A and B are shown apart, each in its own frame.
Chain A
Amino acid sequence: MEALEKLGINPMSILLYLINLGSVLLVLTYLLYKPVLGFLDKRRKQISDSIQEAEILRDKFDSTLKTAEKEKKEIEIKFREEMDKLKKFVDERKSELTKEMELARSEMLAKAQSEIDEKKASIMKDAEAATMILIKKVILEIVKNKVPENVIQESIKDAWQQYKK
């Protein structure tokens, strides 16, 4: 104790200080620490509730997002399918129309060729007929005027022999 007094430390002062400190601590505890702690707890709880709510919301959002993504995927799949169908339809239709066009083109070409052939055959036929008529005229002219009488009489006999057969 003397040592302490030498150092200038008063035990009564220390006691007073301790009591003071204690009362300060007590006062602070009741007036400050508890409300603060209470506030802090409240705040902590608030924050925890918020966090929990946020987590719930996040979970909800996640689930909604998942659902939306799932729906999106489904829609995408459906859309792709529809697009594929449409593309297939368009391809088929294109192929059909192409075939029809080809067919119509072939028919037109065939018809045109046929008409050309017909016309050509008709011209050939007319030319042949005209040539034959001319040949006939020439032969008739020769035969009517230049054949001797005895040859004609012989022809009558030959024709009769042919008839008898």
Chain B
Amino acid sequence: MFKEFLSALVYEMLKFSAKHPKAKQSDMTELRIPAVFKEYLGEASEAVLAKDVKLIIMFLNDASAVGGIDYKRNKFFKAFIKFLTEKLASSLDKLPATFYKAEHAEQIKIVEKLIASDSVVAKALKNLIITNSYQELASEINELCKNIAEAPYVLVQSPREIDSELKSEIRENLNKDFESSFPVFQINKNLIGGLRVFVDGTSHDYSWFSRISSISNL
């Protein structure tokens, strides 16, 4: 799923690194990649970058190989996870509820508004959002987070669509409690009201349905 994005990212990083071998983060104004990767590039030496590129290629060839020790301690993949769980997650939260039902052209318009940049990496990112459903993205990201950062699976169920502001707040708070996790938002009308949060199978139920059920269990 992330082949195009990672390929574009690696291409940009290698291109920049070749031109500016000892550049610091402050010198990377012309490099058009997300900030978290700039931070990584500013700290990584040429040798480390070369090693990491090798790992990225291995990952791109066989994503099921993720979970080995190399990936878990690897700064690039940590940065990648951070990007997915913060920046990409935030962008996904801002998408309207009707996005996935909209026409392709409409989707392109919405994503163009959301991600203003037209860099190679930005284009790959836009394509990633348009060509995959929320469930597909969430599933893939959660798999990566679990294998690389051992993050728990967090699911937030609500009876209605949560507005993007509240979604961001919820995501930010849950990320503080469960580092590197990618909370998935799901609509469950049976809750009737309130909220339910699952963390690796443990449920924190604040829904109206559970309160009504508890009355019947008195």
List the interface of chain A (C-beta within 8 A of B): 129, 132-133, 135-136, 139-140, 143-144, 147, 149, 151-153, 155-160, 162-164
Contacts and interface: CB of A to CB of B under 8 A. Distances in A.
Nearest to B159: A152
Interface in B162-218: 162-163, 166, 169-170, 173, 192-195, 197, 204, 206-209, 212-213, 215-218
Nearest to A132: B216
A149 B160 CA distance: 9
Given A140-B192, A156-B160, A132 B208 contact: no
B206 A152 contact: no
Most buried by B among A135, A152, A157, A162: A152
B88 to A, nearest CB: 22
Given A143-B192, A152-B159, A156-B158, A162 B206 contact: yes
B193 A143 contact: yes
Given A132-B216, A132-B217, A160-B169, 12 more contacts: A135-B216, A136-B215, A139-B212, A147-B192, A149-B160, A153-B163, A156-B159, A157-B166, A158-B194, A159-B193, A159-B206, A163-B195
Most buried by A among B159, B166, B215: B159
A162 B206 CA distance: 8
A85 B148 CA distance: 93
Contact of A152 (B193, B204, B212, B213): B193
Instruction: Report, nearest first, the 6 A-B pairs whose CB atoms are least far apart.
Output: A159-B195, A155-B193, A159-B206, A132-B216, A159-B194, A136-B216
Contacts of B192: 140, 143-144, 147, 152
Given A136-B216, A139-B212, A139-B215, A163 B204 contact: yes
A156 B195 contact: yes
B156 to A, nearest CB: 9
Nearest to B218: A132
Most buried by A among B158, B173, B206, B216: B216
Given A143-B208, A163-B206, A156 B216 contact: no
Contacts of A149: 160
Given A155-B193, A156-B193, A164-B173, A143 B212 contact: yes
A160 B65 CA distance: 37
Contacts of A135: 215-216
B32 to A, nearest CB: 36
Nearest to B174: A163
A157 B158 CA distance: 10
Contacts of B206: 159-160, 162-163
Contacts of A158: 194
Contacts of A160: 166, 169-170, 195, 206
Contacts of A164: 173
Nearest to A139: B212
A140 B215 CA distance: 12
B173 A156 contact: no
Nearest to B190: A144
Contacts of B208: 143, 155
18 contacts: A132-B215, A133-B216, A136-B212, A139-B212, A143-B192, A143-B212, A147-B193, A152-B193, A155-B194, A155-B208, A156-B159, A156-B166, A159-B193, A159-B194, A159-B207, A160-B169, A160-B170, A163-B204
